[in-house]
Chains A and B, each alone.
Chain A
Amino acid sequence: MAVSTTAGPSAAASDLGSLLTTALLTLFIMAAGIIVSVVFAVGAYALISLILPAYKLIGAVAVMVLGVAACFGYFWGSNRLLDTIYPASGANIGANVTKANAIRPWLFLGPAIVILSIYLVYPVFNSIWLSFHGPTGQGWVGTSNYEWLARDGGFRESMRNNLLWLIVVPAAATFFGLIAAALTDRISWGNIAKSLIFMPMAISFIGASVIWKFIYDYRAEGTDQIGALNAIVTTFGGAPQAWITVPFWNNFFLMVVLIWIQTGFAMVILSAALRGIPEETIEAAIIDGASPFQIFYKIKVPQIWGTIAVVWTTITILVLKVFDIVLAMTNGQWGSQVLANYMFDWMFRGLDFGRSSTIALVIMVLVVPIMIWNIREARKDMR
């Protein structure tokens, strides 16, 4: 955007005028680029699906190639257009380059801003709007969705359980991750051990739910147990239990699944942090005669508090969104409901967009403090 050094009302007006021109031109080039490349990609896709047999995978690969081509096409084409309008040659070269440089960043950012606005920003506002409307999104209902929420037993149960999850899962995953990081750094086969502990990260929540449901499997007393947990319990003389149906405690059996998945994440981050600790502090402690435990708790851990906080908050966000595990293991029965699954339930079974948007907003509100903290930390880093 052209910066004016002369003051005065007429200069301000022409400033505003040139700003407007720049903005409109930016929007025009951006729109032209996006429309042309999308039309080109869609047309090419239609052509391909006309010629080639309708194998889905070929279609998917074609979409991938065309998508990348369309992106390149947009960036190349819009830049070209900009350079044609403001050529970096001729009499006005200086002014042209300045004007082009004011527009170019927005062309680079264009597709990202459009997509982010549609997929993440607009939904936030639309959800707020929906939360004041009826089941189909029509008809203003005032705050009745919120009043319903405040009195709803299912919501209270979800909040209680989410609170439990928020306390237990980040704490346990960070703790085990820290232990695993500290121990694996000291042994020769540490990298293999790390890989194996890290592996559940790659498994889907639903796959992990199958894996753990198999462990919690219950057979009537007296028959052979095929679930590992009940087999262990009966070996030691206990009575087998249908673990995931025991109210209250079943929450913890579900949490184990997420802890199992997330420990590897915590371990990898914390292990890098531990390695980044200056050797001198440790050497000084050794010389002072500190035991390995003292070194760990009094020297190392205090130096990586920042990283522990990052790990903790990242897992906290994940916990707020946890959904697949509860859906697959209990579907919220036996007192194990959580917010994300409750929202899903009202969306798909209750078919009430108003109420489920309200629940989604509650999740959003819970995330906001962490969001603000993240933004502040990020801005600190960037300075």
Chain B
Amino acid sequence: MSTAVGQRPALTWAVNLAVLLLVVIWTVPTFGILVSSLRDKDQLAVSGWWTALFPSEQSIAARTAPPAEAAREGANWVLRGNVFESGSGRISAFGTSIQRPSEFKPGEVAEMRGGGTATVEENGDYVVTYSEQPDDTRGERIFVTALEAPKFTLANYRTVLFSEGIGQSFINTLTVTIPATVIPILIAAYAAYALSWMQFPGRALLLAVVVGLLVVPLQMSLIPLLRLYNGVGIGKSYIGIWLAHTGFGLPLAIYLLRNYISGLPREIIESAKVDGASDFEIFRKIVLPLSFPALASFAIFQFLWVWNDLLVATVFLGNNEEQLVMTGRLRELLGSRGGNWEILTASAFVAIVVPIAVFFLLQRYLVRGLLAGSVKGG
């Protein structure tokens, strides 16, 4: 195929550019979340993430040290300090009332309402001067418009992991995912072996049923199962969701594994039978080890699907601290912290980083599984 293109350098360029464009469109949204989650939350709120590397103009409401701590200098009491709590920046204007936050230029002297005067220098140093000893314990408010240097921080991650409950939800998600990924595999593998290498009436019908069940919408199952769970006393519990994910994953598992296991060379299995091995032994000693790639493919699908699932978790798990999974938490944050992008971006990144890592590490098996047949998807 490269021969057709190789002769046309212009076309090669166009192809490269087009692919580059696709890659950019498909990766930039995720990249934007990553960058944003690492930015200072005040900067994130007023400027796009693509400006993260440039200084940004910001309005800061700073508070001085308590006036009671003013030191005597000559006839006056003076407070000194810097409006920037961390980092540095350049002040372009300041004010002493919230209505006119940029009334004064740096270096000018502003009268304050409570008496005394204030000056802010370009580098953020402020000087507040009182003619009488002040006794206020609340600092004066100073409003500045500053050009602030870009700030990157892990503070957002600290916040979401420890005080927004994402850390707890991460553990809950893992608790759901580990058993729900592994348990269906063995059940499906035995069924797939029976459907591939054992003769019995109704085999074709069973296979057709499995293929049909592949596409049954989950929505069908929710209410009947919820009623069933409440009826037998499982209610909203981990055992309920493990079993539910096992059930919903089984058709795909059986289908994928059957496609693979029925493709194993007939001679191996028949010669084992001739040697007197039982079906049980053939499965355990020959088929299971040989099927590792298919088992891995399914495990990855099931892992991604369970980890990313919102619907099943919302229905079969409670909404409390002990049971809320990460997708559910993200959904809640979208409702309650809709405008706090520092919280949302950091939470989203925590939620997607594990599946993305699994994806990049085990992509080979994932692709192989996809190609092995149709797929339940997402």
Q: Which residues of A come within 8 Å of B, CB atoms?
A: 1, 56-57, 59-61, 63-64, 67-68, 71-72, 75-76, 79, 83, 101-102, 104-106, 108-109, 111-113, 115-116, 118-124, 126-127, 130, 137, 176, 179-180, 183-187, 189-190, 193, 195-207, 209-215, 217, 223-228, 231, 260-265, 268-269, 272, 282, 286, 292, 295, 310, 313-315, 317-318, 320-321, 323-324, 327-328, 340, 343-344, 347-348, 353, 356-357, 359-361, 363-364, 367, 370-371, 374-375, 378-379, 382
Contact status A56-B171, CB under 8 Å: yes
Contact status B49-A318, CB under 8 Å: no
Contact status A327-B331, CB under 8 Å: yes
Q: In the docked arrangement, what's the CA distance between A21 and B368, Å?
A: 43
Q: In the docked arrangement, what's the CA distance between A228 and B200, Å?
A: 60
Q: A56-B172, A130-B223, A198-B363 are in contact. Are A119 and B244 (CB under 8 A)?
A: yes
* Binary contact track B193-237/A, C-beta < 8 Å → 1, others 0: 111001111011011111111111111111111011000000000
B23: Cβ under 8 A from any A Cβ: yes
Set A112, A124, A374: member contacting B188, Cβ < 8 A:
A112
B360: Cβ under 8 A from any A Cβ: yes
Among A122, A202, A265, A357, which residue has the most Cβ atoms of chain B within 10 A?
A: A202
Residue numbers in B under 8 Å from A106 (CB-CB): 200
Stretch of B107-115, B156-164, B305-313 at the chain-chain interface: B305-313
Q: In the docked arrangement, what's the CA distance between A96 and B76, Å?
A: 110
Set B8, B32, B45, B183: member contacting A211, Cβ < 8 A:
B32
Q: Which residue of B lies closest to A264 (CB)?
A: B26
B156-185 residues at the A interface, CB under 8 angstroms? 171-172, 174-176, 178-179, 182-183
Among A83, A119, A347, which residue has the most Cβ atoms of chain B within 10 A?
A: A119
| Extra A-B contacts (13), CB below 8 Å, given A124-B220, A203-B356, A323-B311 | A104-B279, A105-B194, A113-B206, A115-B243, A120-B247, A120-B248, A190-B19, A204-B355, A206-B308, A212-B29, A214-B29, A295-B4, A374-B215
Q: A108-B194, A204-B307 are in contact. Are A115 and B246 (CB under 8 A)?
A: yes
Residue numbers in B under 8 Å from A228 (CB-CB): 28-29, 32, 48, 50
Q: A203-B308, A310-B374 are in contact. Are A347 and B223 (CB under 8 A)?
A: yes
Tally A-B pairs: CB < 8 A.
360
Among B187, B242, B248, B360, which residue has the most Cβ atoms of chain A within 10 A?
A: B187
Contact status A203-B311, CB under 8 Å: no
B71: Cβ under 8 A from any A Cβ: no
Q: A75-B190, A197-B22, A268-B367 are in contact. Are A343 and B201 (CB under 8 A)?
A: no
Contact status A374-B310, CB under 8 Å: no
Query: Could you tell me the distance in whole angstroms from the C-beta of B342 to the nearest C-beta in chain A?
Result: 11
Among B4, B198, B223, which residue has the most Cβ atoms of chain A within 10 A?
A: B223
The 3 closest A-B pairs by CB, nearest first: A119-B247, A204-B308, A202-B359
Set B16, B175, B221, B348: member contacting A123, Cβ < 8 A:
B221
Q: A109-B206, A321-B218 are in contact. Are A102 and B251 (CB under 8 A)?
A: no
B312-335 residues at the A interface, CB under 8 angstroms? 314-315, 327, 330-331, 334
Residue numbers in B under 8 Å from A137 (CB-CB): 227
B54: Cβ under 8 A from any A Cβ: no
Contact status B227-A353, CB under 8 Å: yes
Among B1, B27, B307, B330, which residue has the most Cβ atoms of chain A within 10 A?
A: B1
Residue numbers in B under 8 Å from A75 (CB-CB): 186, 190, 280
Residue numbers in B under 8 Å from A224 (CB-CB): 46-48
Query: Could you tell me the distance in whole angstroms from the C-beta of A20 to the nearest C-beta in chain B?
Result: 15
Contact status B29-A205, CB under 8 Å: no
Contact status A353-B26, CB under 8 Å: no
B9: Cβ under 8 A from any A Cβ: no
Residue numbers in B under 8 Å from A363 (CB-CB): 217, 219-220
Residue numbers in A under 8 Å from B11 (CB-CB): 292
Query: Could you tell me the distance in whole angstroms from the C-beta of A196 to the nearest C-beta in chain B?
Result: 5
Q: In the docked arrangement, what's the CA distance between A212 and B186, Å?
A: 38
Q: In the docked arrangement, what's the CA distance between A59 and B190, Å?
A: 26
B332-353 residues at the A interface, CB under 8 angstroms? 334, 341, 344-345, 347-348, 351-352
Interface size range on B against A: 35 or more
Contact status B219-A71, CB under 8 Å: no
* Binary contact track B276-293/A, C-beta < 8 Å → 1, others 0: 001110010000000000
Q: In the docked arrangement, what's the CA distance between A202 and B345, Å?
A: 17
Q: A112-B191, A231-B48, A363-B219 are in contact. Are A206 and B330 (CB under 8 A)?
A: yes
B68: Cβ under 8 A from any A Cβ: no
Q: A127-B223, A353-B227, A360-B219 are in contact. Are A193 and B29 (CB under 8 A)?
A: no
Q: In the docked arrangement, what's the CA distance between A220 and B187, Å?
A: 56
Contact status B331-A206, CB under 8 Å: yes
Residue numbers in A under 8 Å from B375 (CB-CB): 265, 314
Query: Could you tell me the distance in whole angstroms from the C-beta of A136 to the nearest C-beta in chain B?
Result: 9
B30: Cβ under 8 A from any A Cβ: yes
B61: Cβ under 8 A from any A Cβ: no
Q: In the docked arrangement, what's the CA distance between A119 and B22, Å?
A: 40
Q: A202-B352, A343-B219 are in contact. Are A215 and B363 (CB under 8 A)?
A: no
Set A130, A189, A205, A226: member contacting B341, Cβ < 8 A:
A226
Residue numbers in A under 8 Å from B178 (CB-CB): 57, 60-61, 63-64
* Binary contact track B1-18/A, C-beta < 8 Å → 1, others 0: 111110010011001101
17 A–B pairs (Cβ distance < 8 Å), ordered by A: A1-B201, A59-B238, A105-B203, A115-B247, A116-B250, A119-B246, A121-B213, A196-B26, A204-B355, A205-B310, A224-B48, A226-B47, A268-B371, A353-B227, A356-B223, A360-B222, A379-B208
Q: In the docked arrangement, what's the CA distance between A57 and B191, Å?
A: 29
